[in-house]
């Protein structure tokens, strides 16, 4: 079988382009905007970030390279994007740094909605104080159980209850905020028949129709 020259050439070009793009990280190569008031300093084992809402630090792999093409712009790169570990950590590291900068400068906020008859939330003083690692306050939740649920509020979480059926959580750490919100959601997950439960943010569920005999 004889291949036409133009077909062979096209196949080679396609293969070369695919290999070149495979070593790029579309997330990792995006620059990070550093707002005013946020200071970054490279340490021996990581990156220190200080801002209006506090300070934090992130560990960095030895192959991660941090540069500043402009005074208010940070760029993340790796030594060899052809290495699988470095390619995987490229985008992950960039996302962690961007989230840390946003948390220290603006903070993260997530609302929780209590949907159901009699579902209520309130903030009260924790009689155990800080014994369980809390800040001295706790959430008193009524979620359709035979008893109230008490959840100590961690020191790094700020909780507000603007209405009986809404909780607003704030934190400088996006990961810790998500974990605490998920913990509250676990006490009454949204169910698909009556739409009751604890909804996080813009969470939506598909309501199922009950079968009638």
CB neighbour list of residue 211: distance below 8 Å, 6 or more residues apart: none
Q: What pLDDT sits at residue 44?
A: 83
Mean pLDDT, residues 21-40: 85
**Domains 32-106 and 109-200 agree in fold:** yes
How many CA atoms within 13 Å lie on the side-chain side of 79? Answer: 7
What was the pLDDT predicted at 23? 66
pTM of the full structure: 0.81
Between residues 210 and 178, which one has the greater pLDDT?
Answer: 178
Say whether pLDDT at 57 is over 80. yes
pLDDT at 182: 97
Top pLDDT among 164 and 2 is at 164
Indicate the domain borders of the chain.
32-106, 109-200
> pLDDT (tens digit, 9 = 90+) per residue, 195-207?
999 999 999 888 8
Percent of the chain with pLDDT over 90: 73
Is it the case that residue 8 has pLDDT exceeding 60?
no
CB-CB neighbours of 154 under 10 Å: 17
* Residues 84, 21: Cα–Cα separation, whole Å: 14
Give the mean pLDDT of the chain: 87
Specify whether domain 109-200 bears CATH 3.90.700.10.
no
Alpha-carbon gap, residue 126 to 153, rounded angstroms: 9
What superfamily in CATH does domain 32-106 come from?
Answer: Ribosomal protein L6 (3.90.930.12)
In this predicted structure, what is the pLDDT of residue 32?
95
Above 80 in pLDDT, residue 2? no
DSSP, collapsed to helix, strand or coil, labels residue 58 as: strand
More confident residue, 2 or 162: 162
Name the token pair of 55.
């300070």
Identify the weakest region by mean pLDDT among 41-45, 71-75, 143-147. 41-45
């Amino acid at each position: 079988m004889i291949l036409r020259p133009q077909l062979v050439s096209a196949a080679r070009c396609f293969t070369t382009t695919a290999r070149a793009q495979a070593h790029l990280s579309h997330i990792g190569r995006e620059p990070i905007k550093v707002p005013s008031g946020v200071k970054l300093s490279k340490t021996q084992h990581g990156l220190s970030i200080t801002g209006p809402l506090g300070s934090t630090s992130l560990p960095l792999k030895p192959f991660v390279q941090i540069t500043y093409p402009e005074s208010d712009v940070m760029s993340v790169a790796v030594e060899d994007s052809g290495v699988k570990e470095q390619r995987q950590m490229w985008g992950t590291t960039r996302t962690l740094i961007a989230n840390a900068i946003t948390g220290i400068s603006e903070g993260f906020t997530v609302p929780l909605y209590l949907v159901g008859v009699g579902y209520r939330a309130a903030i009260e003083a924790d009689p155990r104080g800080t014994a369980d690692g809390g800040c001295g306050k706790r959430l008193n939740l009524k979620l359709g159980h035979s008893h109230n649920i008490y959840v100590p509020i961690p020191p790094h979480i700020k909780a507000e209850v603007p209405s009986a059926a809404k909780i607003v959580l704030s934190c400088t750490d996006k990961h810790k905020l998500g974990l605490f919100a998920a913990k509250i959601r676990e006490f009454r997950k949204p169910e698909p028949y009556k739409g009751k439960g604890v909804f996080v943010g813009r969470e939506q569920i598909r309501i199922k129709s009950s079968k009638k005999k």
